[in-house]
Chains A and B, each alone.
Chain A
Amino acid sequence: NAGVTQTPKFRILKIGQSMTLQCTQDMNHNYMYWYRQDPGMGLKLIYYSVGAGITDKGEVPNGYNVSRSTTEDFPLRLELAAPSQTSVYFCASSADVQETQYFGPGTRLLVL
């Protein structure tokens, strides 16, 4: 039981490039989340999903897209990377919205 896994651990992008951050959970959780953490700040919710095929915007969705084709996977897509997207990205999952969220180890992204 690996919990929540994220790849890659670290990536450098040039402005305008695109990439997909991968997130997988093996706990059969319905809910999955993407957060970003900027230095000295708490976590801001980007997108979340309540189940396969259903996604919703969080607090800071601009510049990102998500999809949820399976229960296990919740990839986050950056289409045109900007320096403002330099951050640490965390994926999380929970059995229900009121249940505890379990976090992945994070992906550190640097956009230059």
Chain B
Amino acid sequence: GEDVEQSLFLSVREGDSSVINCTYTDSSSTYLYWYKQEPGAGLQLLTYIFSNMDMKQDQRLTVLLNKKDKHLSLRIADTQTGDSAIYFCAEIRNSGNTPLVFGKGTRLSVIA
């Protein structure tokens, strides 16, 4: 398909791990991104991974990339209430008129 796909909702308990999944479309994408959007705010870059990497870890965040399946995931360890937000997956496209294509976002709700 043409779209970057994400599940729309995820609910976890505080202290648990969250895993947000994304399927992208362009196998030649060089960078894949995770952005976080808090209510009423703009998008904040959370992390990114270069396409020649399988995994990237940054404190509580772990990004896994499966290029064969075009699957990207974001794991948040020890999820906190402050992690409640919408998380957008995005890919760089090397063709078409849209350099960066976003998924519809996954709304993460953290239950205390």
Q: Tell me the A residues contacting B by CB distance below 8 Å.
A: 31, 33, 40-43, 45, 48, 56-59, 90, 92, 97-98, 100-106
Contact = CB atoms under 8 A, between A and B. Distances in A.
A48 B99 contact: yes
Interface stretch (B13-21, B41-49, B65-73, B76-84): B41-49
B97 A101 contact: no
Interface residues of B, number: 22
A105 B41 contact: yes
Given A42-B105, A59-B98, A97 B92 contact: yes
28 contacts: A41-B105, A42-B4, A42-B88, A42-B104, A42-B105, A43-B88, A43-B102, A45-B97, A45-B98, A45-B100, A48-B99, A56-B97, A57-B97, A59-B98, A90-B42, A90-B43, A92-B43, A97-B92, A97-B99, A98-B30, A98-B31, A101-B45, A101-B100, A102-B45, A103-B42, A103-B43, A103-B44, A106-B41
A66 to B, nearest CB: 14
A8 to B, nearest CB: 14
A100 B48 contact: yes
A46 B30 CA distance: 23
Point out which of B30, B31, B42, B97 has the most chain A C-beta atoms below 10 A from its C-beta. Answer: B42
A59 B42 contact: no
Given A57-B97, A97-B99, A100-B48, A105 B42 contact: yes
A42 B100 contact: no
Nearest to B4: A42
